[in-house]
């Protein structure tokens, strides 16, 4: 779970030194995301590190509505109604309840996955590459404060046809490579607010730990 938190929850810096062509593509993507009142995504993740022999794959889903979200990744689930956040850890049969915060770096908000480029990075346009037959802009992101991060490079693949994030690769300093493929994006679905509130009846036997 820590690797998805690294990708989604690492935004804490100021942007600088942008590549004009890369910035143009990212601005279009940001504009499209700002027009979504809600959305649903599905993605897969592969985590590899040749020195440790790590090779793990998981799938994830996310629902977002305004500042509310529900995200599942592997056996872990995070639910937030914009005021409280509940992290459900199946292995421990525990639920951790905390105050929600847009700036919480440990948040697994799917919205961050689709807006990670907006602050904290310089960017560089690389090329057009085909991903499963779809032409994609390839853009590199580099953190401004590299000494304070566990990663050094993020590579985004953005659909040329519909301005949607298709793939993201994150490279960390310990040699880990995390590859995220977005398999589904549904704009503006109807989502009941109850989706974003923890219901203890759905988790019998779980211990709720409040911060």
> What average pLDDT does the segment 22-31 reach?
90
pTM for the predicted model, two decimal places? 0.80
How confident is the model over 59-69, as pLDDT tens digits?
999 999 988 99
User: Tens of pLDDT along 198-209?
Assistant: 999 999 999 999
Considering the chain, what percentage of its residues have pLDDT values greater than 90? 59
At 177, which CATH number? 2.50.20.10
Look at 111 and 43; give whichever has higher pLDDT: 43
**Confidence at residue 108, expressed as pLDDT on a 0 to 100 scale:** 58
Q: How many structural domains does the chain have?
A: 1
Rounded to an integer, what distance in angstroms lies between the CA atom of residue 210 and that of residue 86?
A: 9
Question: What is the rounded distance in angstroms from the CA atom of residue 186 to the CA atom of residue 14?
Answer: 30
d(CA 201, CA 7): 31
Q: Is the pLDDT of residue 2 over 90?
A: no
Give the residue numbers spanning the domain of 84.
2-210
Distance of CA 17 to the CA centre of its chain: 23
Query: For 157-177, what is the mean pLDDT?
Result: 92
Instruction: For residue range 43-80, list pLDDT tens digits in order.
Output: 998 999 999 999 999 999 999 998 899 999 888 899 99
CB contact set of 207 (below 8 Å; sequence gap of 6+): 93, 94, 95
């Amino acid at each position: 779970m820590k690797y998805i938190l690294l990708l989604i929850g690492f935004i804490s810096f100021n942007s600088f030194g942008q590549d004009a062509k890369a910035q143009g593509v990212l601005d279009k993507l940001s504009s499209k995301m700002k027009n979504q009142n809600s959305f649903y995504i599905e993605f897969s993740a592969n985590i590899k590190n040749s020195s440790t022999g790590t090779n793990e794959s998981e799938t994830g889903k996310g629902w977002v509505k305004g500042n509310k979200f529900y995200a599942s990744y592997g056996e872990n689930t995070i639910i937030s109604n914009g005021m409280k956040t509940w992290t459900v850890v199946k292995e421990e049969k525990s639920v951790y309840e905390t105050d929600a915060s847009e700036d919480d770096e440990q948040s697994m908000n799917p919205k961050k996955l689709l807006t990670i480029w907006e602050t904290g990075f310089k960017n560089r346009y690389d090329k057009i590459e085909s991903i499963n037959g779809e032409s994609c802009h390839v853009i590199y992101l580099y953190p401004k404060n590299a000494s304070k991060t566990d990663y050094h490079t993020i590579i985004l693949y953005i659909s040329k046809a519909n301005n949607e994030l298709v793939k993201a690769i994150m490279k960390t300093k310990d040699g880990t490579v995390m590859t995220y493929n977005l398999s589904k994006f549904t704009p503006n679905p109807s989502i009941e607010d109850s989706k974003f509130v923890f219901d203890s009846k759905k988790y019998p036997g779980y211990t709720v730990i409040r911060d």
